[in-house]
């Protein structure tokens, strides 16, 4: 459905106006290219929850956006303040996050076409969806429309509500005013409108001058704004070190380690088993013996990546807490011991904030633990090497998307080599 909330919120996020989505009096308001749309919070969306098999509500989806699903918040923080108490699982959270931010274009959990029509006919979704222009004052029980006797007066008050939203946006964008402060000013102006009974008094408020409010707030917040911008610039400079890719230890169930990581992720784009990589390495150097690399540097698009074994995260002499923030890719083999030092401590929390991958042979099943985690499953054919490039392309595409959204300091145009003067 073109008017579905999931689609509209995805469009708002991609248009960078998600901060204009707000809830009021049990309704959710979403900006669109044709104006603000209004939806009842208890209405159903087109996204079907995996566990409950029910469509999640508009209110729950708004709550996820308000919690920052598109800006980097994690699932644990969201569950601490779930206003509508929908049981949105971690897998649904991540899939919605990827769909809304454009990381994936489709989702099996989103009912479209015949499925959505059937759900609509059965009354399971869409029956509570209403446009802000069409509902007037009757959309809410006890709302401002109930106190007005004529349709014209109801429309005037509805327009006043829309002007209140516009004022709030102008105050936030024009002066850097905090959302609570802007909301108070906008509500005050709206109350002045709704308490007047004649057209002239309403027009006086509509045409009111907010310049004094903006000027006074700008004077107070100028210093703090400069400080926050300086801190943001300093943060980018401080974190502009090598991005890190962590690979598995050389275990029996691992398919990628320090032995074969460069062959796969480097220019060769060719998968070599860990066993064969060890054999090839043993034929080089003196005595026919070569130790496993402790670190490998890979240059791609003029950015230097450090490839390290995941076991290094437990060695404080080689790994610092700041290094966790530089991880842009993490290969999992199903082991759980290696995540104890991570900020999230558990694999579920770790892979909620870091791009994870699990390599497995196409004729085998993925490792059971990895099937429970939010990791991209990458199948490798044992005998068809010409398929390797496709798998590597998927890996780098996910890493590039993650960097673009979460680690812009590692984009080629922003990155500074720590060794360069």
Query: What is the per-residue pLDDT for 379?
Result: 92
Per-residue pLDDT tens over the stretch 84-114 = 556 688 888 888 888 888 888 888 888 765 4
CA distance 78 to 88: 10
Judged against a pLDDT cut of 50, whether residue 293 lies above it is answered with yes
State the residue range of the domain holding 368. 244-410
> Which CATH number does the domain housing residue 290 bear?
3.40.50.11990
Per-residue pLDDT tens over the stretch 189-228 = 655 544 444 444 444 444 445 555 566 666 666 666 666 6
pTM of the model: 0.48
CA distance 86 to 57: 8
- With a CB cutoff of 8 Å and minimum separation 6, the contacts of 81 are 63, 67
User: Could you tell me if 247 and 257 are in contact, meaning their C-beta atoms sit under 8 angstroms apart?
Assistant: yes
Provide the 8-state DSSP code for 139. Answer: G
Q: Which of 185, 206, 227 is the last residue of a domain?
A: 206
Same domain, 187 and 308: no
Same domain, 251 and 187: no
Provide the 8-state DSSP code for 212. Answer: H
| Any domain includes 233 | no
* Closest by Cα among 279, 303, 294, 298 to 410: 303
Same domain, 156 and 249: no
Same domain, 162 and 56: yes
| Any domain includes 227 | no
Least confident residue range of 123-137, 180-194, 355-369:
123-137
Query: What is the per-residue pLDDT for 196?
Result: 44
The DSSP H or E segment spanning 378 is: strand 376-380
The mean predicted confidence, pLDDT, of the chain is: 74
Strand-strand pairing, 55-57 and 44-48: antiparallel
Domain count, the chain: 2
Same domain, 186 and 320: no
**Mean pLDDT calculated for residue range 153-175:** 60
Least confident residue range of 19-23, 128-132, 188-192:
128-132
Dig out the tokens for 52 from the structure.
């409950």
| Any domain includes 60 | yes
């Amino acid at each position: 459905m073109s008017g579905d909330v999931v689609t509209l919120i995805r469009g708002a996020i991609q248009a960078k106006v998600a901060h204009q989505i707000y809830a009021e009096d049990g309704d959710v308001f979403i900006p669109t290219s044709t104006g603000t749309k209004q939806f009842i919070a208890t209405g159903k969306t087109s996204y079907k929850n995996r566990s409950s098999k029910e469509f999640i509500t508009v209110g729950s989806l708004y709550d996820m956006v308000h919690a920052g699903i598109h800006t980097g918040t994690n699932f644990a923080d969201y569950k601490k303040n779930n206003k509508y108490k929908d049981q949105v699982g971690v897998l649904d959270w991540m899939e919605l996050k990827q769909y809304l931010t454009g990381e994936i274009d489709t989702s099996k959990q989103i009912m479209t076409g015949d499925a959505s029509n059937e759900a609509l006919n059965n009354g399971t979704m869409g029956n509570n969806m209403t446009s802000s222009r069409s509902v007037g004052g009757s959309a809410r029980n006890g709302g401002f429309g109930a106190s007005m006797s004529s349709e014209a007066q109801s429309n005037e008050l509805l327009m006043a509500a829309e002007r209140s939203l516009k004022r709030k946006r102008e105050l936030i964008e024009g002066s850097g005013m905090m959302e609570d402060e802007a909301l108070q000013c906008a509500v005050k102006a709206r109350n002045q409108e709704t308490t007047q009974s004649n057209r002239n008094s309403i027009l006086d408020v509509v045409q009111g001058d907010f310049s004094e409010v903006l000027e006074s707030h700008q004077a107070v917040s100028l210093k703090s704004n400069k400080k926050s911008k300086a801190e943001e610039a300093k943060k980018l400079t401080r974190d502009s070190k090598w991005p890190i890719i962590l690979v598995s230890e050389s275990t029996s169930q691992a398919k990628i380690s320090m032995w074969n990581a460069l062959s796969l992720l480097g220019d060769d784009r060719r998968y070599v088993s860990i066993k064969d990589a060890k054999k090839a390495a043993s034929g080089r150097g003196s005595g026919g013996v070569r130790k496993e690399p402790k670190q490998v540097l890979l240059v791609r698009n003029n950015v230097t990546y450090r490839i390290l074994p995941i076991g290094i995260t437990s060695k404080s002499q080689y790994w610092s807490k700041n290094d966790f923030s530089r991880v842009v890719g993490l290969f999992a083999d199903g082991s759980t011991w290696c995540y104890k030092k991570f900020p999230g401590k558990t694999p579920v929390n770790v892979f909620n904030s870091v791009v994870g991958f699990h390599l497995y042979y196409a004729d085998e099943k993925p490792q059971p633990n990895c099937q429970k985690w939010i990791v991209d499953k990458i199948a490798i054919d044992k005998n068809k090497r010409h398929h390797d490039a496709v798998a590597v392309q998927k890996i780098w595409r996910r890493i590039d998307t993650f960097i673009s959204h979460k680690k812009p300091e590692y984009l080629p145009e922003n990155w500074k080599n720590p060794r360069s003067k």
